[in-house]
Amino acid sequence: MEETASPELGIKIKMLFFGPLAENMGQREIEVALVMGSTTRDLIQRFRLTHLLDTGLRIAINGEIGADIDESLKDASEVAFLPPVSGG
């Protein structure tokens, strides 16, 4: 008998936090299980980080800063939340 895949297959991604956000989250790295098809925007909403998008927060997906946060994440993706860069 063949096994059929569940329509809600899960993926695991890694969230990385830098700067003050790491302090606010209480850790630098979190591994999260998500439903396949989830986006970085879904992740941002789940962790109540939406308000930070307007503060200059930069997001890197698999090392690409400015990647599309509405694109589906893949298993083992890495999403990094980077504080705004200040110059001087």
User: What's the CATH code of the domain at 56?
Assistant: 3.10.20.30
Question: Among candidates 6, 7, 84, 71, which has minimal Cα distance to 43?
Answer: 71
Question: Among candidates 77, 5, 86, which has minimal Cα distance to 38?
Answer: 77
Question: How far apart (Å, rounded) are the C-alpha atoms in residues 40 and 3?
Answer: 30
With 0.85 as the threshold, say if the pTM is over it.
no
Is position 73 within any domain? yes
In this predicted model, what pLDDT tens digit does every residue of 22-76 receive, in sequence order?
A: 998 899 999 999 999 999 999 999 999 998 888 888 999 999 998 999 999 999 9
Q: How many domains does the chain have?
A: 1
Q: Domain limits at 78?
A: 10-82
